[in-house]
Amino acid sequence: MPDFEAHVLLVLVVPVLTGSSPFSLSSFFMDKDNRDDFTFAKLSDLKLPVTFRISQLEGSIPQPSVSELLENPELRFHGAQSSALSDLYVSCQLLADNKPLTIPFRTSFKAFKNNYTWNEWITLPIRYCDLPLSSQITFTVWDIGAPRTAVPVGSSTFRMFGKKWTLRRGKHRLLLWAGQEADGSMQTKTPSKLGSRDEMGRLEKLVKKYERGDLPKSDWLDNMAFRKMEEIHAAETEKSENMYLYIDLPRFDFPVIFSEAEAQNQATIPFAPPAAAQTPVTPVLPSYFATDPHLWTILDPEIARENPVEDKHRRLVRSHRSSPYDRELKPNAKIRDELNEILNYAPSQPLNSEEKDLIWKFRFYLARDKRGLTKFLKSVTWRDPSEVKQAVEELLPMWTEVDTDDALELLGPGTVDSRVRAFAVRQLNRADDEELLLYLLQLVQALKFESAASEQRSSRSTTSAISYDDSGLTDFLIARGVQNHTLGNRLYWYLIVEVELEDRLVAKMYGRVVFKFLNKILESENGSERRELMRRQGVLVETLAKRAKELRTSKDPRPKKIEKLRSFINDSKNGLVNIPPLPLPLNARMEITGINAEKSSVFKSNLYPFLLYFQCSDGTEYPVIFKDGDDMRQDQLVLQLFTLMDQLLRKENLDLKLIPYDVLATGPLQGMVQFIPSKTIAAIISENGTLLNYLRANNPDEGSVGTYGVEPSVIDTFVRSCAGYCVVTYLLGVGDRHLDNLLLTPDGHFFHVDFGYILGRDPKPFPPPVKVCKEMVDGMGGAQSTHYTRFKNYCFTAFTILRKSANLILNLVALMVDAHIPDIQHRDVHEQIQEKFLLNLTEEEAIKHFEALLNETSYFTVVLDRIHDLAQYWRS
């Protein structure tokens, strides 16, 4: 609690502003009917305790009805009911933002004769300068009933500040809400005023103005007027069914405008002429006054422009060294809403300078909010050493733990200071191996943004407060990779691909990381064995790649290629028939022992990829497509994001039967893909006519009419997987869809392959935003079937769930901008994806929008032209 200051109410001395100055503030405060000159005082200068007087109660006190008396016999003893006046008392409490600022206070006991008049001053242990703008006082009039029970007679909630942030003064009449206790919440159910005004209300308003000196005084007229008013008053009171409580508030000589104590330097400069900038007496207003249209009808034109003294101004505004109040500063409800809105911005959304200043101002308050850190760091002026120092050395260590999506954002190219990056790395350390594997691809990319790794380090200015030291990301990745073999295996291959890429400087950096990683592995338990496994993986990939290139470029017809491949595998010299147990590079959880030569084949496609059936030590087979001549990294990214989204959906207990198959780029132009036994939609249509025929042939269930003679679980899988892929391909803007890259497994898993075009790119005209073809809809029994309805609902649920993780997905894609992936460079990736999530809409609106997109492809709501376009689109 602030100190109790036993002051008498003072006349406040404040600078008087006149209307003549070109930079006058006075005009902003003028009511149409007010005088020209106007003065005001700041609340922050009012260091007096909050005081008010509870005057009297007027109006008819409701009597309990007979039925109430029957139910609650103790009411009978209420004084209010008997002829003599009962012992009413008033309790009051100061609240703001739904939280009490003081304990409740009450009037002392008093015996009443013919009216309820307390005339009791209450002084609260809080100073005016400490009041939030949303401060309100609740008043409840109590009647003492049976011993130790009090029943509310009526109550009212009074806001301390009126329009234009002015502290209320003088006499007030509060409407009492009968029989209720006062509601101190922000949206109070017991407001002290109702919208409509009676004659008394109007007169009282005038009296208040008169008392404040806002109306010219004229004694004889005034006396007459007051007598008249007494009469009106009596008449109104007589006929009114309402109860009113009268209170008196201190009358200050000037209007007291809400302002906060720390606002000393706030917003002074932009509104003052340059010469006045040094004058300390310039009246001061908090900057957010500028957001109220009533106040700032005129704005300084300088404010919108880039200003050469902007830095100086910001230093003044931010005044981090001279503002000890910032630590304690808490936003009022309005500002809190503003802050909240900023915190909810998507990661890509830039902050304007007002937003930055606001975030900076409340930085200590925000340190408790995990969402606040990324926005705070955006608000730091990184070229200002003192700001950097405070941000990184003082605030960052006290910041609460942040979520993974924010940590990933902090590892992007936007974060230069290694201490911030180190903070992000520490946050990631909380992720388990499973989760880390989901982000590993991006974390390897993030190494590019590490300043310590960069060769240009020496050229950086040494006067800056920014630290370019090692953030520890490399060591973190290496340590986790050494610890977990699955993770380490992926890390190894992600790094190797970067080493082989043409960017020399970056390749060198990754080379150093691989070297360090392998050394750490050697130091670990059984390290040399692990090192040897990695070497053998490299040899395996090299052998296959060499052969794949040979066969691809040879002029042999496909059957000849197949024959050559099989004999190559079968030739024991090549060491592929029998392999000493080796973790498969594509999926280290699979330990391979050889390749099945008979089953292996060559695909009919211009790159002639291999289909290899790996034999695993657990007796299973793991079919893999090995491809040379194609950059697999975009597919790798898409499938990694599919895996992530599948995990997000599963975390919410939604299993959409996705098949996020494994993809691994083993070099810039080669890689492995897990092969899922399945058929293309094109092949099924040509062989079986419809998807349902195909599913029925593989999973007949004659009794099941509702699923068209197909086993119900298979239809369920089909419906779910269609919905899942519908949403995930929509979000990533997957393009170039045709019936040859849509596949279906015999047990109903539908999935997409080949992601050469993403983020809205498409080689074909009129791409539909949602990739649902007619064959899929027919497979569910048509757009009017219950299965289609289920499909739509799965889509909406999945879309809603993934929307909540939009930032995570956005940040992961953003980390790939320097990965030289065709569709992700030089494009506003963020915007592309952000649009898909429809983040500027409410959840409900977004679903509606998504439904409209779905309807476009439902093939029965769509106009004929569109169907023609769609049919064209889906052709191979």
Ligand X SMILES: *[C@@H]1O[C@H](CO)[C@@H](O)[C@H](O)[C@H]1NC(C)=O
Task: Give the interface with ligand X as residue ranges (CB under 6 A).
Answer: 113-115, 117, 433-434, 437, 484, 486-487, 525-526, 566-567, 570, 597-598, 687-688, 693-694, 697-698, 835, 840-841, 848, 851-852, 855, 861
Q: Are 659 and 676 in contact (CB under 8 A)?
A: yes
User: Could you tell me which residues come within 8 angstroms of residue 312 by beta carbon, excluding any fewer than 6 positions away?
Assistant: none
Shortest distance, position 47 Cβ to ligand X, whole Å: 35
Which of 433, 652 has the CB closer to ligand X?
Answer: 433
CA-CA distance, 568 to 564, in Å (whole number)? 6
Whichever of 115 and 606 has its CB closer to ligand X, that residue is 115
- How are beta strands 663-667 and 41-42 bridged, if at all? unpaired
Smallest gap from residue 759 Cβ to ligand X (A): 14
Residue type (1 letter), 863: V
Q: How far apart are CA 816 and CA 806, in angstroms?
A: 16
Q: Which residue has the tokens 């409580």?
A: 245
β 41-42/256-257 pair status:
parallel
Q: Is 452 helix (H, G, I), strand (E, B) or coil?
A: helix
Long-range (24+ apart) CB contacts under 8 A made by 536-539 are 536/580, 536/582, 537/489, 537/492, 537/582, 537/583, 537/585, 538/496
| Closest to ligand X by CB, 286 or 779 | 779
Q: How far is the CB of 529 from ligand X (least distance, A)?
A: 7
The structure tokens 């292996």 sit at 600
For ligand X, give the closer residue by CB, 269 or 847: 847
Contact 666, 580 (CB under 8 A): no
Q: At closest approach, how far in Å is the CB of 687 from ligand X?
A: 5
We find the least distance from the C-beta atom of residue 77 to ligand X, in angstroms, to be 23
Q: How far is the CB of 199 from ligand X (least distance, A)?
A: 19
Judge contact between 833 and 733, C-beta under 8 A.
yes
3-state DSSP helix/strand/coil % of the chain, to nearest 5: 45, 15, 40
**Nearest alpha-carbon partner for 141 in 79, 95, 189, 92:** 92
Which residue, 114 or 196, has its beta carbon nearer to ligand X?
114
DSSP annotation string for 538-598: HHHHHHHHHHHHHHHHS---HHHHHHHHHHHHH-GGGS-SS--SEEETTEEEEEEEEEEEE
**Burial (Cβ within 10 Å: 0-12, 13-18, ≥19) of residue 431:** middle
Shortest distance in whole angstroms from residue 487 CB to ligand X: 5
Nearest approach in angstroms of CB 491 to ligand X is 11
Cα 71 to Cα 50: distance, rounded to the nearest angstrom:
42
Q: What's the token pair of residue 392?
A: 């990184």
- Residue 41 pairs with which residues in a beta bridge? 256
Task: Give the N- to C-terminal CA distance of the chain in Å, as an integer.
Answer: 75
State the number of CA atoms in the 13 A half-sphere of 240 facing the CB.
20
Q: What SS3 class is residue 378?
A: helix
Q: Which residue is nearest to ligand X (CB)?
A: 433
State the nearest-atom distance from the C-beta of 724 to ligand X, in Å.
Answer: 20
**Nearer to ligand X (CB atom), residue 54 or residue 366:** 54
User: How many alpha carbons lie under 13 Å from residue 716 in its C-beta half-sphere?
Assistant: 6
For ligand X, give the closer residue by CB, 783 or 802: 783
Relative to beta strand 256-257, strand 582-584 is unpaired
**Closest to ligand X by CB, 248 or 433:** 433
- In the complex, minimum distance from the CB of residue 597 to ligand X, in angstroms, rounded to a whole number: 4
CB of residue 422 to ligand X, shortest distance in Å = 24
Q: If residue 443 lies in a helix (H) or strand (E), which one and from where to where?
A: helix 433-446
Structural contact between residues 798 and 727, judged by C-beta atoms closer than 8 angstroms: yes
Shorter beta-carbon distance to ligand X: residue 186 or 234: 234
CB of 847 to ligand X, least distance (A): 9
Q: Rounded to whole angstroms, what are the CA distances from 635 to 207, 466, 611? A: 76, 37, 17
Nearer to ligand X, 454 or 785 (CB): 785
To ligand X, the closest distance from the beta carbon of 14 in angstroms equals 37
> Which region holds residue 734: left if phi is over 0, alpha if psi is between -120 and 50, else beta?
beta
In the complex, what is the shortest distance from the CB of residue 780 to ligand X, in angstroms, rounded to a whole number?
14
